[in-house]
Amino acid sequence: MFFCGDVAESETGTSRPSARRGQDSFDLRAAVQLPELTNRRTQDDVRRLVYRFKQRIEDVPGARERLLHFWRDADFQDSVLATLAHDIPRDGDPLAGAQEKTSGERESRNPKSRRRKFQERTYGDCVLWLGLVNKHNKYAALELKLPETFDPWVTYVNRLMVYLFAEIPGYRGPDDFHRLLDVSMDEPFPMKCHNPVCVCLNHIDWRLRRPKESADSEGDETDGDE
Has residue 83 been placed in a domain?
yes
Q: How far apart are CA 78 and CA 51, in angstroms?
A: 9
Residue 39 has pLDDT above 80, yes or no: yes
Has residue 24 been placed in a domain?
no
| 124: confidence class by pLDDT, cuts 50, 70, 90 | low
What SS3 string covers the chain?
CCCCCCCCCCCCCCCECCCCCCCCCEECCCCCCCCCHHHCCCHHHHHHHHHHHHHHHHHCCCHHHHHHHHCCCHHHHHHHHHHHHHCCCCCCCCCCCCEEEEEEEECCCCCCCCCEEEEEEECCCCCECCCCECCCCCCEEEEEECCCCCCEEEEEHHHHHHHHHCCCCCCCCCCHHHHHECCCCCCCCCECCCCCCECCHHHECCCECCCHHHHHHHHHHHHHHC
Residue 90 has pLDDT above 60, yes or no: yes
Has residue 145 been placed in a domain?
yes
The structural domain count of the chain equals: 1
| 212: confidence class by pLDDT, cuts 50, 70, 90 | low
Has residue 12 been placed in a domain?
no
Has residue 207 been placed in a domain?
yes
Q: Where in the sequence is the domain holding 201, given as residue range(s)?
A: 37-97+118-225
Has residue 2 been placed in a domain?
no
Residues 47-89: pLDDT tens digits? Answer: 999 999 999 999 999 899 989 988 888 999 999 999 999 999 9
Considering only residues 98 and 167, tell me which one the structure prediction assigns the higher pLDDT: 167
Has residue 107 been placed in a domain?
no
Has residue 173 been placed in a domain?
yes
Can you give the pTM of this predicted structure? 0.69
| 178: confidence class by pLDDT, cuts 50, 70, 90 | low
